[in-house]
Amino acid sequence: MNYFQLFNLPAKFDLDLTELGSRYLKLQKQFHPDQHSSGSERDKLLAVQQTANINDAYHSLKQPLMRAEHLLALRGLKISHEQRSFTDPLFLMQQMELREQLAEIDQSADPDAVIDTIERQLQQQKKQLLQQLATALDSETAEQDQQAADLIRKLKFFFKLQQELELIEQQLQD
Amino acid sequence: MLLQIAEPGQSAAPHQHKLAAGIDLGTTNSLVATVRSGEAKTLINSQGRDMLPSVVRYTADSVVVGDAAMASAVNDAENTIVSVKRLMGKGYNETLALKDKVPYQLIDQQGLVAINTVQGVKNPVEVSAEILATLANTASETLGGELNGVVITVPAYFDDAQRQATKDAAKLAGLNVMRLLNEPTAAALAYGLDSGQEGVIAVYDLGGGTFDISILRLRRGVFEVLATGGDSALGGDDFDHAIVSYLQQHTGEAELSHQAMRQYLTTARSIKEQLTDSDTVNFSLPVAGSQFSGALSKTEFEQLVAPLVKKTIRACRQVLRDAGLTSDEIVKVVMVGGSTRVPLVRTEVATFFATEPLTSIDPDKVVAIGAAIQANVLVGNKADGDTLLLDVIPLSLGLETMGGLTEKIIPRNTVIPVARAQEFTTFKDGQTAMALHVVQGERELVEDCRSLARFELRGIPPMPAGGAHIRVTFQVDADGLLSVTAQEKSTGVQANIQVKPSYGLSDDQVATMLKGSMQYARQDMQLRLLREQQVEAERVLEAVSQALKTDAALLSAQELTTIKQALTNLAEVKQGDDTAAIKAAIEHTNTLTDDFAARRMDQSIRSALTGHNVDEV
C-alpha cells in the first residue's frame, strides 16, 4: 500500500506534517466506525479495516524513520531487520563511547547534567543524519537510496540510545 | 453500504428519533443517562435516585438490585455481591488477594472466578448483566420504549478480557452495545462539548475500584487520546480497606466474620465520606457484646491513604512521559469519580499539574453524561460528523516467543482501530498446526503479562520446514477488542483459528448462559434471533440501495442487474420468518457487493482529499 497516495500527498521525504495531520483527520471523520454504527455488519467491519489502514499510514508517515523506510520500500528497497555489520569504524567507535557514557550515568556526581549532555549530543547527531537522509532520498538514484538505507540503520542506533537514556532518566526519577 | 455520509441538508431519510442511552457501569454505583431536547441528563429510577448502587443480592428465588440489595449487604453479606466490577474478566487465581476482603465466597469455575450464592454459582458477567438490565429498564420506562442501542463505559485501563466480559454482560442483558467507551474519554466529551475547551487536558478518574489517567488533545470537535494509564485495581474501595485495617487495630478484632466485615466496610465508607467536610469523625462498632467507640481525624485518614494517592500521581507522571508532554502543557484537569471528593486527592492532583482541577460537572455523573452524548450520535439522532473520538489501547498486545519472552505486536497507546500483522513459519516438515499465545502487558516475561488467549492454527498446508509463511493479523476494533486472523501466504489457505480465552467466556458459554437466562424463554430467543436478522437485512437493503443511487456508475450493466436481483430476493425473504434463509440472503448480497464496496471506498478516499480546502477540517 502506498501511504502517500492514500493521503494524496507527493511521495517525498520532506513532508508537510500539518497538511498530513489535517488530511488524516478528514479521512478519519469519514471512515471512523463511529460514523457507521447504523450500517450493516459487513460495512462496520470495512470501516474498522479502513480506519486501521488510515491509522497505520498516518503513524508511518508521521515519523521520519518510518517515512524514509516506506519511501525506500516504494522504490523497491526493503531494509532487512537483521543486523547488518557496519563498515564505518568511526560510527562504531562513537556508538561504543556513547554506550559507555550511558552505563556510567548512575555513578556520576550530577547525573542530570550528564543526561543533559548526552541528550544534546544525541539530538545533534540525529539532526545531522536526518539532514543527510533527506538529501540522499531527494536525489532518487539507486546509489543514493543505498546510502539512505545505511543512514536509516545508523539513525536506528541513535533512536535506541535515546530510548535507553529516557529509561535511565525514569529510573532516576522514580 | 459504507460511506453513506449524507452531505449537510441531504439526509438519507427523515429519521425517527431513536432511543439510546449511555451507561456508566461503576464499581460502587452505576448510572444511565440519555439526551433529551438536546441535553444529556441522568435518569431517575423508581427509587427516585439516579445512582444505582452496583449491588446484586441473590435470594433462593429472586434477584434484587440496587438500594434494596445494599440494605441487606450486612445481614446477608454472603449473597449480596458488592463491587463485582473488580472481578470482571479475572481468573480465580488473580482474585486470591480479594478473597479476605470480600464477604462473599469466591470460587474457581474452570479457572474463572465466580461467586457461590444461595441461588447457585454466579459469575461476574451474570451479576453485571443484572445491573445493566435494571438500568436499561429505568431508561425504557422513562423514555417509553425499548432502547435501540447503548454505549457502556469501561475504565480506559481495562484489558481485553475485562472489556469482553463487559460486552458479554450487555449481551446477556439483551442490550445492543453500539460502543464500549473509555470512561475518561466520555468525561472529556461531556466537558469538551460543554465548554468548547481547546488544548491538551488531563482526565483524572478515581472511581470505587479503578483508576484511570488520560491525556487528550481537544480541537474543533476532535477528541484525541494521546496516552492513557492507570491501575484497574485501585480505587475508593482501597481507601475503605485502609480504614478497615485501622479500625481493626483499634477494636482488636483481627478476624472478622463476613457480616462484621461488611459492617466495618460500611462504617469505613461513611467515615471517609464525612471526612470530606469535617476534621474528625466519631465511630462506634460492636466488639464482643459491647460497643467500641473511637474517632478518626482527617490527618490520620490522610496518612492512611497517602500511599494510594501517591501511586496515582506516579501513574500521572508516567502517562505524561508516554504522551511526550510536561505538566505545564496541560491546560485543564478534569476530575471524575466519587473518590476525587477526598480533599487530599484534589490537593495532590492540583499540585502535580499546577492547576486547579475542574469539578463543575458532578464527578459521579460526568461519565454517564458523556456516554449519553456519544450514544445519541451513534444511534443516528444527530447527523453530526463533527465529533470524532480517537482512542488508544491502554496496554501492549504481544505474542509469546521462545523462552517465555513477549514480543510486542501492537504497543500501548496505539490509536484504534488498528491492524498489525506478523509472519510465522513452520519448524517441522509437514507441520499442519501451530500454537500461539497472546498476551497483554508491558513486561518482558510472559508470566508477568496478562494471558489473553491461546490460538491454535489448523489446516496449514503440509510443506517442508520453513516453507509455510503464515501471516497472523491482530485487529483491535473501536471498542478496544482484539480479534485474530491467519492466512498461509503462498497458498492463500485461510488457517482456522480456535480461540481459548484465558480469562473469559467462550462464545459457546455465552450462548448457553443466554439460553439459560431467566430473561429469555426459548421462544423469545428464537424471535430475538429472527428480529436481529430482519434488522440486519433492513440495514443491508438500505445501504445498498443508497449506494446504487449515488454510485451505480461504478458497476457494469451485468453487475447492476445481479445486485438488483439479490436485493429483490432479500426484500422478499425478509418478510418471512425463516431466520437461516434471511441470513443466507444477506450473505449472498454481501458477497455480490464486496467489490462494489471496495470501489466506492477508493472513490470516496479520492474525493475526500481533492477539491476541498484544508481549513475545513
Instruction: State yes or no: pLDDT of B612 exceeds 60.
Output: no
* pLDDT tens per residue, range A103-129: 888 888 888 888 888 889 889 989 999
| Facing residue for A39 by CB, picked from B386, B543, B609 | B543
Distance from CA of A65 to the nearest CA of B (A): 17
Q: Taking CB atoms and an 8 Å limit, are A48 and B321 in contact across chains?
A: no
Of B161-170, B198-207, B378-387, the one with minimum mean pLDDT is B378-387
Vertex B166, ends B160 and B169: CA angle to 5°? 140
pLDDT at A33: 92
**Among B10, B13, B7, B8, which Cα is nearest to B539's?**
B13
**Among B587, B574, B568, B565, which Cα is nearest to B537's?**
B574
Here the cell at position B437 is: 499465545
Specify the higher pLDDT residue, B364 or B3: B364
Instruction: State yes or no: pLDDT of B8 exceeds 60.
Output: no
Q: What is the DSSP letter of B430?
A: T
* pLDDT tens per residue, range B246-281: 999 988 888 888 888 888 999 999 999 999 999 999
Here the cell at position B554 is: 461504478
Specify the domain boundaries for CATH 1.20.1280 within chain A: 89-173
Distance from CA of B404 to the nearest CA of A (A): 21
Which of B477, B587, B589, B612 to probe the A interface (max A CBs under 10 A)? B477
Question: For residues B334 and B191, is the Cβ–Cβ distance under 8 A?
Answer: yes
B444 φ/ψ angles, rounded to the nearest 5 degrees: -70, -40
Q: CA B470 to CA B494: how far, in whole Å?
A: 9
Q: CA B182 to CA B479: how far, in whole Å?
A: 9
**Coil/strand/helix, residue B235:** coil
Distances B456 to A108, B467, B585 between C-alpha atoms, Å: 51, 19, 31
Instruction: Give the ranges where A3-88 is alpha helix by DSSP (H).
Output: 3-6, 17-31, 41-62, 64-74
Determine whether B205 is an active site residue: yes
pLDDT at B465: 85
Catalytic residue among B76, B160, B168, B205: B205
Instruction: State yes or no: pLDDT of B71 exceeds 70.
Output: yes
B63 φ/ψ angles, rounded to the nearest 5 degrees: -125, 130
**Among B237, B398, B417, B412, which Cα is nearest to B318's?**
B412
**Which A residues in the span 81-100 are in contact with B, Cβ-Cβ below 8 Å?**
none
Q: How confident is the model at residue A86 (pLDDT cuts 50, 70, 90)?
A: low
What ipTM is given for this predicted complex?
Answer: 0.86
Q: Does the beta carbon of A29 lie under 8 angstroms from any beta carbon of chain B?
A: yes
pLDDT at A63: 92
CATH of A89-173, one of 2.40.50, 2.60.40, 1.10.3470, 1.20.1280: 1.20.1280
Q: Does the beta carbon of B378 lie under 8 angstroms from any beta carbon of chain A?
A: yes
Determine whether B24 is an active site residue: yes
Q: CA B504 to CA B491: how far, in whole Å?
A: 33
Q: Does the beta carbon of B109 lie under 8 angstroms from any beta carbon of chain A?
A: no
Mean of all residue pLDDT scores within chain A: 87
pLDDT at B194: 58
| Facing residue for B608 by CB, picked from A27, A52, A173 | A27
Question: For residues B381 and B20, is the Cβ–Cβ distance under 8 A?
Answer: yes
Q: Taking CB atoms and an 8 Å limit, are A31 and B3 in contact across chains?
A: yes
The count of other CB atoms within 10 Å of the CB of residue B228 is 28
Residues of A in contact with B186 (CB under 8 A): none
Give the torsion through C-alpha atoms of B548, B552, B556, B559, to 10 deg: 0
B452 φ/ψ angles, rounded to the nearest 5 degrees: -95, -45
Specify the domain boundaries for CATH 1.10.287.110 within chain A: 3-62
Distances B489 to B238, B475, B492, B594 between C-alpha atoms, Å: 51, 18, 5, 21
Instruction: State yes or no: pLDDT of B411 exceeds 80.
Output: yes
Q: CA B13 to CA B15: how far, in whole Å?
A: 6
Question: For residues B207 and B182, is the Cβ–Cβ distance under 8 A?
Answer: no
pLDDT at B7: 39
pLDDT at A2: 92
Of B242-251, B404-413, B513-522, the one with minimum mean pLDDT is B513-522
Mean of all residue pLDDT scores within chain B: 87
* pLDDT tens per residue, range B537-548: 998 998 899 889
**Among B272, B266, B284, which Cα is nearest to B239's?**
B272
Element containing residue B177 per DSSP (H, E) = strand B177-182
Q: Taking CB atoms and an 8 Å limit, are A37 and B178 in contact across chains?
A: yes
Here the cell at position B375 is: 450514544
pLDDT at B496: 66
Here the cell at position B604 is: 470516496
Question: For residues A46 and A62, is the Cβ–Cβ distance under 8 A?
Answer: no
The count of other CB atoms within 10 Å of the CB of residue B356 is 11
Instruction: State yes or no: pLDDT of B517 exceeds 80.
Output: no
Question: For residues B102 and B143, is the Cβ–Cβ distance under 8 A?
Answer: no
pLDDT at B12: 42
Q: CA B177 to CA B150: how far, in whole Å?
A: 5
Instruction: State yes or no: pLDDT of B169 exceeds 90.
Output: yes
Q: Residues A9-36: what's their mean pLDDT?
A: 92
Here the cell at position B519 is: 430473561
Tell me which residue has cell 518510518: A66
Largest CA distance in chain B: 90
> CB within 8 A of A103, min separation 6: which ones?
none
Helix pair angle (B236-251, B298-323), 10° resolution: 150
Determine whether B85 is an active site residue: yes
The count of other CB atoms within 10 Å of the CB of residue B599 is 13
Of A66-70, A130-134, B506-510, B539-543, the one with minimum mean pLDDT is B506-510
Question: For residues B282 and B294, is the Cβ–Cβ distance under 8 A?
Answer: yes
Instruction: State yes or no: pLDDT of B193 exceeds 70.
Output: no
> CB within 8 A of B255, min separation 6: which ones?
none
Q: Does the beta carbon of B535 lie under 8 angstroms from any beta carbon of chain A?
A: no
Vertex B201, ends B198 and B207: CA angle to 5°? 135
pLDDT at B10: 38
pLDDT at B503: 78
**Coil/strand/helix, residue A171:** helix
Vertex B437, ends B432 and B440: CA angle to 5°? 155
Q: Taking CB atoms and an 8 Å limit, are B539 and A51 in contact across chains?
A: no
This prediction has a pTM of: 0.87
Rg (CA), chain B: 26
* pLDDT tens per residue, range B454-501: 888 888 888 888 888 888 889 999 999 998 888 888 777 776 666 667
Which of A43, A62, A174 to probe the B interface (max B CBs under 10 A)? A43
Q: CA A33 to CA B151: how far, in whole Å?
A: 14
Q: Taking CB atoms and an 8 Å limit, are B539 and A40 in contact across chains?
A: yes
Tell me which residue has cell 477526598: B342
In chain A, which residue's Cα lies nearest the Cα of B413?
A: A59
Q: How confident is the model at residue B15 (pLDDT cuts 50, 70, 90)?
A: low
Q: How confident is the model at residue B5 (pLDDT cuts 50, 70, 90)?
A: very low
Distance from CA of A146 to the nearest CA of B (A): 26
DSSP of B289-339: TEEEEEEEEHHHHHHHHHHHHHHHHHHHHHHHHHHT--GGG--EEEEESGG
Specify the higher pLDDT residue, B142 or B194: B142
Q: How confident is the model at residue A80 (pLDDT cuts 50, 70, 90)?
A: low
User: What's domain A3-62's superfamily in CATH?
Assistant: DnaJ domain (1.10.287.110)
Tell me which residue has cell 465466580: B114
pLDDT at B535: 87
* pLDDT tens per residue, range B84-98: 999 999 999 889 888
- In chain B, what percentage of residues exceed pLDDT 90? 55
Q: CA B313 to CA B319: how far, in whole Å?
A: 10
Distances B299 to A37, B208, B244, B313, B339 between C-alpha atoms, Å: 50, 22, 16, 19, 17
Q: Does the beta carbon of A165 lie under 8 angstroms from any beta carbon of chain B?
A: no
Q: Taking CB atoms and an 8 Å limit, are B2 and A38 in contact across chains?
A: no
Q: CA B231 to CA B229: how far, in whole Å?
A: 7
